[in-house]
Structure 1
C-alpha cells in the first residue's frame, strides 16, 4: 500500500467514524440492523436518559434498548433515497463487502453462553441464544436470565425456530427476552416487551421477524440501491422532513431536507446523485439497464416528489402512516 493510499484509507475511516458519532449524538436519528425480513430498530426520545458505552465501542444505551457499533475497515456508508407513492424514504445504509459480511449462518436454535459483548455490563451474565434464522449478515438472537425462559429456549435448541412443535415460537411474546441482533459492524439490543401479533409496534426500540419475507433469502429490499459487491448490515435513519419516526405526517421541515441532501452528496452513489440533480435542473437523467435503470428512475421520482414539497404544494397522504421498506417493513 502506498503512502497516499494509506492516508486516503485512514481519512475515509475517520470520516465514517465521524458520521457514526454525529448520528449517535442526534436523538432524532434512528438506527436499524438486520436483513430482509428480520430487523432491529433503535431510537430514543429527545431528553430520554442514556449512557454512553464504557468499553470503547461507539454507541449508547437507554432503558429501552442499545446500539453498539464496531466499525471495521471496509465499512461503506451509502446514502440513498427511494420513491414511494407521492413521497420518498431516505437512509444511509452501512455496507460491507460481500466477502466480509458473513455471520454464523446457523440454521437451528443454538445456546451461545453468557453475552460478554452486551452493551450494558449488567447484561453480560445473561445467556444468549442464536435463533438460527440462517441469515447472511446478521445473527438474530435473544437473551434471557429467567429460569422458565431459559428452560423453554433450551428445550427448543438444536431445532429450527419455525419447526412444528418447537416450543420457543409460541412462547416468545410471554417470555419477553431481550432481542439482540449482531453483525460484523456491531449490534442493536431491544429490551422493550414484544407486542402480540395483532398489536402495534412500540414507539421506541423494537424488532420485526417476518417469516414470509425471510423465505425470499434477500439481504435487502429490491428498491434499495446497494452497490454491486456490497451487503447492507444496518442503516442510519436521519430525521425525515415530512414524517416522524413512526411514519406519521408532519409539516415539511426544510432543515431536515437540506441536512440529508448534504449526506447524499457526501455518501451517495455518484451516478444516482447526478441523476437526481439532473432531474432537479429539468434535464432527463441518463438511464442504464435493468436494476440500474430502476434506481435512476427512482432518484428522478424522489426529486419530483421533493420539488412538490419545496414549492409548498399540499401533497395528499397515502394513509395515516407511510411504510419504510428499509426499516420495520424490511
Structure 2
C-alpha cells in the first residue's frame, strides 16, 4: 500500500497550490530551448480537456499530465551582487530520457494531446532541436501545413523560427504527458516595454550547442535532468522583503532541497560565518547572507 504522506502526495499538493497561484511561473524544456507559462491574476483560465491538471488561457496552456511522478529538487542560485533566484525543478532520471530527435524538421501528425479539444486537428511538426528533456514542436493548420511540410528534412533555422508567428503556429514544448503551449502570434502582440508576463518560447542556438542538461550553477543531483521548473514569486518582487514568500520557499527547501545545503543555509541564517568549499555550498552561503540582511531590516 502506498504511503498517503509520501513524496508523490506532497508534490501533488505543491502542484495544486501552484496552479491556483497566478504569481507562479512555469518552464518546460532543456538548456537553451523550451517554453515558459505565466498568467495575469485576472486572466481567464480553464482546465485542459480530458480532466488533466493544468491551465488554459487565451495566450497559451500548461498541462501537467505526469509532473507529480517526477523527482522534485528545490534550490536557490546566487546571481550577481546580492541577487538570487529560486526554483523547484522536477527532474527525470537520465536513463528515462529519450535520445535527441533527428536534427531536421519532421511531421508528427495530429495533436491528439492538445490542451484544447478544438486544437486536436492541428498538425505537429518537430523542430529537431538537440534536446533530451523535451520536444519542441510547432502546431499549424490549413495552408500553413504545406509550408511546414516543405521544410521537412532540413534543419530548423532562424528564418523558420521567425516565420512561425505569421503562420499562426502554436509552439508546443512537450515531455511525456507534460506540456506548455505558446500562441506565438499573441506573444508578438504583447512584446512591449510594459508587456504583461505571459507564455514565451525560447530558442538559443549558442546554449544548445553546449549540449548541457542544465546550467552549471543549478545543483541538480547526478543522474537527474530537470524537465519542468516552478518559479515561485520572489521575496523582493514588488518592493520590500516579503516574509510570506520567504517562508513559502523555505518550506519547499526543507521538503525537497539537498539536506546538507539546507542545513548549511540554516546555520548561516543563524549567524554562522561559514566558508564552504564546494561551488554549490558557496552559492548557498551567499544567498543566506543576503537574505539575513533583508530579514534583519524587514
TM-score normalized by structure 2? 0.91
Residues 204-229 of structure 1, C-alpha deviations (whole Å, 9 max, x = no match) = 11111011111111111110110111
Gaps of at least 5 residues in structure 1 are 1-5, 244-248, 314-330
What CA distance in whole angstroms lies between the structure 1 residues aligned with 2:122 and 2:177?
Answer: 22
2:7 aligned with 1:12, yes or no?
yes
- Alpha-carbon deviation of 1:101? 2.7
Whether the 8 Å contact between 2:25 and 2:38 is mirrored in structure 1 is yes
What CA distance in whole angstroms lies between the structure 2 residues aligned with 1:202 and 1:146?
Answer: 30
What residue number does 2:218 align with?
Answer: 224
What CA distance in whole angstroms lies between the structure 1 residues aligned with 2:165 and 2:21?
Answer: 31
Whether the 8 Å contact between 2:67 and 2:178 is mirrored in structure 1 is no
What's the C-alpha RMSD, in Å, of the aligned pairs? 2.3
What residue number does 1:213 align with?
Answer: 207
2:57 aligned with 1:65, yes or no?
no
Whether the 8 Å contact between 2:165 and 2:184 is mirrored in structure 1 is no
Whether the 8 Å contact between 1:101 and 1:184 is mirrored in structure 2 is no
What CA distance in whole angstroms lies between the structure 2 residues aligned with 1:73 and 1:104?
Answer: 24
- Cα distance change, pair 212–304 in 1 and its aligned pair in 2 (3 A): same
- Cα distance change, pair 126–87 in 1 and its aligned pair in 2 (3 A): same
- Alpha-carbon deviation of 1:145? 1.2
What CA distance in whole angstroms lies between the structure 1 residues aligned with 2:77 and 2:162?
Answer: 36
2:175 aligned with 1:175, yes or no?
no
Q: Secondary structure at the match of 2:104?
A: coil
- Alpha-carbon deviation of 1:280? 1.2
Residues 48-67 of structure 1, C-alpha deviations (whole Å, 9 max, x = no match) = 11111231321110111110
- Cα distance change, pair 101–19 in 1 and its aligned pair in 2 (3 A): farther
What residue number does 2:259 align with?
Answer: 270
Instruction: Give the stretch that moved more between structures: 45-54 or 103-112.
Output: 103-112
- Cα distance change, pair 72–25 in 1 and its aligned pair in 2 (3 A): closer
Q: Secondary structure at the match of 2:114?
A: coil
2:129 is aligned, of 127, 133, 137, to 133
2:285 aligned with 1:300, yes or no?
yes
- Cα distance change, pair 309–287 in 1 and its aligned pair in 2 (3 A): closer
What CA distance in whole angstroms lies between the structure 2 residues aligned with 1:57 and 1:10?
Answer: 22
What residue number does 2:34 align with?
Answer: 39
Whether the 8 Å contact between 1:155 and 1:167 is mirrored in structure 2 is no
Whether the 8 Å contact between 1:285 and 1:296 is mirrored in structure 2 is no
Residues 58-84 of structure 1, C-alpha deviations (whole Å, 9 max, x = no match) = 111011111001226751111110111
TM-score normalized by structure 1? 0.82
